[in-house]
Amino acid sequence: MTPREHDRIVTQNMAGNPLVERRYASTTVEERAAVESSARRMRIALVAGSLDIVGGQEVQANLLCDRFRREGYGLDFVPINPRFPRGARWLRRLPYLRTVVNEALYIPTLVRLRRADVVHVFSASYWSFLLAPAPAMLAAKIFGKRAVLNYHSGEAEDHLSRWGILVHPFLKLADEIAVPSDYLREVFARHGYRARVIRNVVDASRFRFRERKPLRPRLVSTRNLEPIYGVDNTLRAFALLRARHPEATLTIAGSGSEEQRLRRLAAPFAGAVRFVGQVEPASMPRVYDDGDIFVNSSIVDNQPLSVLEAFAAGLPVVSTATGEITSMVREGDTGSIIQAGNPAAMVEAISRLLNHPESALSMARRARAEVEKYNWPAARREWIAAYSGREA
């Protein structure tokens, strides 16, 4: 894009707003404050799942909406999963039909994007990408709006490699692609796209940092019950751990297609394994507070909020080395890293923590400091820059 084209797009989207003609990366505090004040007159449409779906993207979208609104930004939230009319909500239980009904309700709501200056679209991969972000991106372009695609899926490499015409034309509609991790930025770069890294935000104040003294074999898993999160491997590791620590317990918070199979795997440990189902974000701090060690067995991942929340709550973390996790959980520094699909390795890592509680506590303290990188002021600056087409 030439400088002239860039200025034309910014002027279109921020018409009547002369302050955004300046570089956001101003050299003085006063100029930076002026740009932020001007940005508050920007109208933002945020397209994402509502908290009727409890997952990392939905939690993050809800947090961004809350923070922008608190600070006076005009923001219209457009859910990709609109509520079904009373009397038709049972359709949510029927595969395929619920998708048809959802799209019939969702697509007309995209007319609301006409009122926005910038459209922020959360995105996963595969069919989810086609059903929700793709229509929103098309609508944004039809209405002449600046479109920011916020891509989160750890399956990006496979998605971009194999889906061809079903993904790349829609990616090219984005004025900006934003991703939460360097891992995803590198994936997009390999496919010829420039992506801006804007980290997820964690409100660490919601979590009570508790030093585990003594450290007990009370495990916590807060990943959804889907194949990519490998909760079956967590259960297999737990079975091995019980041979060493008969008092061990495991709390599994989440829901998903694997639930019945996982319950069967856990049946021999009735009373020691507790399934608490889908937990609302407001109740999640209590789940972490009740445990002593956080475990994650994901096979595919990006930058999971669950790991960052465990950091904030003071739980030592044992996790597979997938996606951005290798940058977050650094072996012996902020946690323990294991190979995916290796329950025995998870047991060894948990046992090392239990045998060396002071080392585990030191890692938890460093991990808590790590969470400070994922703060709202830094993310706000980056999002304002992305919305206005400037460098932060």
What single string gives the DSSP state of each residue in 43-75?
Answer: EEEEEE--TTS-SHHHHHHHHHHHHHHHTT-EE
Give 128's contacts (C-beta < 8 A, 6+ positions apart).
Answer: none
Q: Where in the chain is the domain with CATH 3.40.50.2000?
A: 3-201+375-388, 205-373
Tens of pLDDT along 44-79?
999 999 988 878 899 999 999 999 999 999 999 999
Q: Could you read off the pLDDT tens digit of each residue along the chain, which spans 392 residues?
A: 433 333 333 334 434 333 333 334 444 555 555 555 556 679 999 999 998 887 889 999 999 999 999 999 999 999 999 999 988 889 888 989 999 999 999 999 999 999 999 999 999 999 999 999 999 999 999 999 999 999 999 999 999 999 999 999 999 999 999 999 999 999 999 999 999 999 999 999 999 999 999 999 999 999 999 999 999 999 999 999 999 999 999 999 999 999 999 999 999 998 999 999 999 999 999 999 999 999 999 999 999 999 999 999 999 999 999 999 999 999 999 999 999 999 999 999 999 999 999 999 999 999 999 999 999 999 999 999 999 999 86
> What distance in Å separates the CA atoms of residue 119 and residue 259, rounded to the nearest whole number?
35
Residue with tokens 């992506």: 195
Helices (H) and strands (E) in the chain, counts: 17, 12
Q: Are 132 and 61 in contact (CB under 8 A)?
A: no
- Tokens in use for 192? 């010829």
What single string gives the DSSP state of each residue in 177-208?
Answer: EEESSHHHHHHHHHTT--EEE------GGGS-
DSSP E strand boundaries for 74-227 = 74-79, 118-123, 146-151, 176-179, 195-197, 218-221
Q: What is the pTM of this model?
A: 0.85
For the chain, give the longest Cα–Cα distance. 69
292 CB-contact burial (10 Å; exposed 0-12 / middle 13-18 / buried 19+): buried
Q: Are 313 and 210 in contact (CB under 8 A)?
A: yes
What pLDDT, on the 0 to 100 scale, is given for residue 14? 37
Per DSSP bridges, beta strands 293-296 and 317-320 are: parallel
Residue with tokens 């669950």: 306
- Look at the chain and count its residues: 392
349 CB-contact burial (10 Å; exposed 0-12 / middle 13-18 / buried 19+): buried
CATH topology of domain 205-373: Rossmann fold (3.40.50)
> What distance in Å separates the CA atoms of residue 95 and residue 100, rounded to the nearest whole number?
9
> What distance in Å separates the CA atoms of residue 306 and residue 23, rounded to the nearest whole number?
35
CA distances from 103 to 43, 48, 291, 301 (A): 25, 14, 40, 27
- Tokens in use for 128? 């989810």
Phi, psi for 305 (deg, rounded to 5): -60, -30
What pLDDT, on the 0 to 100 scale, is given for residue 55? 85
Residue with tokens 């509502």: 50
The answer regarding whether domain 3-201+375-388 maps to CATH 3.40.50.2000 reads yes
Phi, psi for 249 (deg, rounded to 5): -130, 160
